[in-house]
């Protein structure tokens, strides 16, 4: 229990350090976002013919959107920034969407989790079964052919595959929608039309997530399985007359999948990061889509909120992998200090 409490404390501290670094990067960069916002507001006031720009009014607008007081001491800004995040879950107001950043991310997060996690789980499951099958067919034509296909597939960037699928299956064949999370004629809610529309719109984004996680894991599973097939305890199991199916499941598969478990949890971070480009390609309004839009529109409050979201996902995935590894591998003690062989 002490180890788990310590590990959670380390994760919270890491997140706090990241948020702190984010704040100072945002506030102290020369010609940083606050100065750019001030110049933009001054230019907008001059363009709209509202008379001589009032610096107090400009600072009030900056504080309204970002939560920062531009003329306040730095330590006061930092204290208010941390307090607003911890107490009020307030990341400021989006300049682009004119909504609170937290509300935007909270509404977009389930959609990103849906397509990203489904794609990751699909890719992981395929890698496990394909890699194990290749190990049992080591040296065969199937093994050599699949190895070549996987190496070739891994050399294609996921965004290139996404663009290709969008052009072929959406624009040319018309099998899937070009953009959106569901059809405009459907009513959101627990009804069949809406759920079918959601699945129809998400097939290509999910398959892109599958492409991101496919391939390398299969080769890893194959290598682990080949190594374990040569172990003495597997030979002993065969001499004892155990069935091939039991050996594959209990002795080979269970042990070969262990090194891939940590990669699965860390893969959450990679697939969420790739969603920034993927959701933009498919015009799928998730967290990645809003992050890209915030970058284009210089919406710094929303951009920083998205950055904190991706960081939280990464830290959470690594923490869960670290805390649960001993549960799936009894040889590893909870503290990670002792190993029994």
DSSP class per residue in 310-321: HHHHHHHHHHHH
- Do 16 and 120 belong together in one domain? no
| Element (DSSP H or E) covering residue 57 | helix 55-66
Q: Are 16 and 9 in contact (CB under 8 A)?
A: no
pLDDT band at 212 (very low <50, low <70, confident <90, very high): low
- Do 18 and 159 belong together in one domain? no
- Do 70 and 138 belong together in one domain? no
Give the domain-ending residue among 88, 109, 137. 88
- Do 172 and 76 belong together in one domain? no
- Do 297 and 245 belong together in one domain? yes
**Overall average pLDDT of the 114-129 stretch:** 86
- Location of structure tokens 């080979």: 252
Give the domain-ending residue among 24, 55, 88. 88
User: Mean pLDDT score of the chain, rounded to an integer?
Assistant: 82
**Overall average pLDDT of the 272-291 stretch:** 87
- Do 303 and 214 belong together in one domain? yes
Query: pLDDT higher for 50 or 35?
Result: 35
pLDDT band at 53 (very low <50, low <70, confident <90, very high): low
- Do 218 and 244 belong together in one domain? yes
Query: pLDDT higher for 318 or 203?
Result: 203
Give the domain-ending residue among 24, 53, 88. 88
Domain containing residue 150: 101-332
Is this prediction's pTM over 0.95?
Answer: no
Q: What's 184's domain CATH number?
A: 1.10.3720.10
**Is 95 contained in some domain?**
no
Express each pLDDT in 135-157 by its tens digit. Answer: 988 889 999 999 888 888 888 88
pLDDT at 163: 92
pLDDT band at 184 (very low <50, low <70, confident <90, very high): confident
Number of domains in the chain: 2
Express each pLDDT in 63-108 by its tens digit. Answer: 776 666 667 777 887 888 888 888 888 888 887 887 889 899 999 9
């Amino acid at each position: 229990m002490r180890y788990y409490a310590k590990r959670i404390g380390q994760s919270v501290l890491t997140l706090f350090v990241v948020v702190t670094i984010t704040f100072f990067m945002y506030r102290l960069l020369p010609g940083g976002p606050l100065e750019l916002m001030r110049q933009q507001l001054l230019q907008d006031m001059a363009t709209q013919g509202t008379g001589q720009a009032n610096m107090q009014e400009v600072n009030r607008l900056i504080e309204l959107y970002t939560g920062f007081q531009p003329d306040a001491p730095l330590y006061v800004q930092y204290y208010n920034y941390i307090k607003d995040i911890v107490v009020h879950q307030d990341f400021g107001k989006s300049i682009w969407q004119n909504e609170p950043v937290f509300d935007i991310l909270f509404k977009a997060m389930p959609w990103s989790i849906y397509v990203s996690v489904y794609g990751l789980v699909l890719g992981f499951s395929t890698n496990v079964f394909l890699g194990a099958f290749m190990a049992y067919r080591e040296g065969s034509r199937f093994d050599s052919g699949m190895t070549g296909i996987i190496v070739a597939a891994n050399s294609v960037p996921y965004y290139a595959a996404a663009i290709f699928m969008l052009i072929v299956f959406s624009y040319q064949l018309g099998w899937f929608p070009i953009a959106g999370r569901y059809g405009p004629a459907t009513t959101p809610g627990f009804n069949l039309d809406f759920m079918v529309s959601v699945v129809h719109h998400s097939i290509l984004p999910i398959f892109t997530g599958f492409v991101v996680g496919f391939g390398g894991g299969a080769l890893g599973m194959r290598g682990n399985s080949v190594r374990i097939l040569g172990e003495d305890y597997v030979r002993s199991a065969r001499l004892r007359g155990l069935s091939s199916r039991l050996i594959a499941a209990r002795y080979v598969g269970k042990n070969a999948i262990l090194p891939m478990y940590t990669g699965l949890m860390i893969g959450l971070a990679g697939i969420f990061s790739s969603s920034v480009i993927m959701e933009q390609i498919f015009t799928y309004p998730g967290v990645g889509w809003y992050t890209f839009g915030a970058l284009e529109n210089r919406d710094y409050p929303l951009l920083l909120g998205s950055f904190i979201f991706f960081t939280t996902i990464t830290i959470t995935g690594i923490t869960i992998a670290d805390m649960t590894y001993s549960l799936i591998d009894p040889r590893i003690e909870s503290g990670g200090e002792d190993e029994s062989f």
